[in-house]
Amino acid sequence: MSPVLLIAWREYKQYIFSRGFLLFLILMPLGAILIAGALGLAESAKPARHFTIYDATGKYAVPLAEEFERRRKRNIVTSYDSWLSFAADKAAIEEKKIPAPFAPGPPDSVRVEAFLAAGIDGANAAAAPYLRNGAPPFEEPRWPFKLEPPPPDVAAAPGIEEARERLKPYLLDEKLPPGADEPLFAAVLIPRDFGPGEGAPAVEFWSRNVTDAALKETLGVALNSMMRREAAEARGLAPGAFDSIASIETALEDFRPDRAVEDAALDDRDRFEIALPALMTYMLIVVIFGAGQLLLTNTIEERSNKIVEVLLSSVTADQLMMGKLLGIAAVGLTMPTIFTLTGLVAAVGLGGGTETLSALSTLAGSGLIFVYLFYFFCAYVIFAMIFLAIGAMSNSIQDAQSFMGPVMLIVFLPLPFIMLVYQNPNGFIASLLTWIPIYTPYAVMMRAASDPPLLEIAGATALMLAFAIVLTRAMGRIFKETILNPAPVRLSDVWKLLRGASGRSRS
């Protein structure tokens, strides 16, 4: 094995076969399962939020309770639709084989009432012939809110001011409402003058736990729905018509004008291709940051442990640098590769295999993957050389801090602009970033799928390559000059090193 590959393999082995990494690989899926389980357990173990309504108008408490009940029923149907999307064969859904009201669709009042009339057992029986093997049956979702009647002393309050005072002991867990086994989580107070007109007072939401917003959000939706329903009926709309109107959903499809009309509609493959540049760019930043830190600590270790001199008597400084770059790049890519493969396996396992494989084969066929790999490699080399040089100049992480600040700023500077380039890949910001050599890889990766002007990309790439060569030589020179120097280098010495270092050491 060549010395470069030997060094690369040692670097790779040092991290990938370390106990910490192997433990992480084992614990990662376990951790994901545990977190998902813990979140599910926390949600299911969380007691229902008990709340009550004090209605000073005397006319909104019942409609509001009815709205809550509609939400609960609707929640059963939407949960059923979600369950069906992964439990049933996709073909059966697309071919609309499952009969109404059990076929997935808008949860209007007619469907919801018909669904609940058949019950959960009826829904499971209707879906059974179309389920994938091993799919679990549908279970009624837990509704996390429970409306309680106001405690008698609160109900008897002559006005909202008195009601507030009387509710406080219940909200502060000092008293339980009669017959209740749980304290009140919240109370909704509807003022006397509340109504549809402008200038009407706000409904008051009293709760000691302001961070748990689920009840408040549901309440807001229910109140809006209640008021719109009242307004619709006041304008003469039949009571059931409002639900039908509210459940109308319009389909909006994407098309690309650069294709023949029959192929112009965007499919999953196109969406994958559009999303990929952003994914690759973020992955690049993650790899650069992760691998950069490894290069830095690793070089500092070799320098401070005095290993580097033995290495340099066995290999050249260039071979040492190249070995490190390759080894740490492989380390940096291992984690995202594992995540990607796990994601693909999960996608295939969850039934998205055909779409995933089709998207991947399209990507490989389009040549875009090679564009991404080329710019990924260029960006890695540019930043890795900077980290190597910093490591060679520092005896400790503290020494490296003075160099790291500006470098990290440069690494992360394009982050705020990535979305702008993503949304407008041929706009001014995209073009500007493309012509800044250190950001050319980011910008071109983001633009690659959007047919950017070829001349602009070629020119910017040539500039980036020239910059990469100059930077690599300069950083390599710093590495060779300083790696054996026992004293750490100050920021102010870097320019001197770049100017006066040539010809002193071997390459």
Partner 1 sequence: MTATVLKLQDVVKRYGDFSAVDGLSFEVGKGEIFGFLGPNGAGKTTTLRMMLDIIRPTSGRIEILGSASAVKVRRRIGYLPEERGLYRKMRAAETIAYFAQLRGVRREDAKRKSHALLDRFGLGEFARSRNEQLSKGMAQKVQLLATIAHDPEFLILDEPFSGLDPINQHTLEDLIRELRGQGKTIIFSTHVMQHAERLCDRFLILAKGKRRFLGDIAEARAAHPPRLILRTRDPAEWLAKTRGVLSIAAKGDPEDGEQAYELTLAAGADPQAILKAAFESGLRLSRFELAGASLHEIFVTLAGDVGPIASPQTESEAA
Cβ contacts of 389 within 8 Å, gap of 6 or more: 475, 476, 478, 479, 482
How far lies 263's CA from each of 253, 260, 418, in Å? 13, 5, 29
Binding residue (CB under 8 A) for partner 1 from 250, 313, 398, 492: 313
Binding residue (CB under 8 A) for partner 1 from 31, 309, 373, 397: 309
How far is 339 from 282, CA to CA, in rounded Å?
14
Stretch of 48-56, 151-159, 203-211, 299-307 contacting partner 1, by CB under 8 A = 299-307
How far is 438 from 383, CA to CA, in rounded Å?
9
Cβ proximity to partner 1: between 1 and 455 the closer is 1
Say which DSSP state 18 is in: S
Size (the chain), residues? 507
| Total of residues contacting partner 1 (CB under 8 A) | 25
Which parts of 18-37 interact with partner 1 (CB under 8 A)?
Answer: 18
Contact status: 297 vs partner 1 (CB under 8 A): no
Stretch of 5-13, 167-175, 207-215, 460-468 contacting partner 1, by CB under 8 A = 5-13
Four-residue CA torsion sign, 154, 155, 158, 159? positive
Stretch of 30-38, 191-199, 396-404, 498-506 contacting partner 1, by CB under 8 A = 498-506
From 461, 500, 467, 459, select the one nearest 481 (Cα to Cα): 500
Contact status: 506 vs partner 1 (CB under 8 A): yes
Residue 13 CB, shortest distance to partner 1, in Å, is: 10
**For 372, what's the count of Cα atoms within 13 Å in the CB-facing half-sphere?**
20
How far is 55 from 155, CA to CA, in rounded Å?
9
Contact status: 316 vs partner 1 (CB under 8 A): yes
Cβ proximity to partner 1: between 176 and 501 the closer is 501
Residue 78 CB, shortest distance to partner 1, in Å, is: 53
Residue 490 CB, shortest distance to partner 1, in Å, is: 16
Binding residue (CB under 8 A) for partner 1 from 64, 315, 322, 449: 315
From 494, 478, 324, 332, select the one nearest 406 (Cα to Cα): 494
Binding residue (CB under 8 A) for partner 1 from 100, 245, 310, 487: 310
Binding residue (CB under 8 A) for partner 1 from 32, 306, 367, 459: 306
Contact status: 503 vs partner 1 (CB under 8 A): yes
How far is 35 from 51, CA to CA, in rounded Å?
29
Residue 24, φ and ψ in degrees, nearest 5: -65, -40
Which parts of 205-244 interact with partner 1 (CB under 8 A)?
Answer: none
Contact status: 361 vs partner 1 (CB under 8 A): no
Rg of the chain over Cα atoms, rounded to whole angstroms, equals: 32
Cβ proximity to partner 1: between 235 and 506 the closer is 506
Binding residue (CB under 8 A) for partner 1 from 25, 232, 274, 312: 312
Contact status: 395 vs partner 1 (CB under 8 A): no
Contact status: 505 vs partner 1 (CB under 8 A): yes
Residue 312 CB-density burial (10 A; 0-12 exposed, 13-18 middle, 19+ buried):
middle
Binding residue (CB under 8 A) for partner 1 from 484, 494, 498, 501: 484
The DSSP annotation for 265-287 comes to: B--HHHHHHHHHHHHHHHHHHHH
Say which DSSP state 350 is in: I
Residues at the site binding partner 1, with contacts judged by CB under 8 A: 1, 3, 6-7, 10, 14, 18, 301, 305-307, 309-316, 484, 486, 503-506
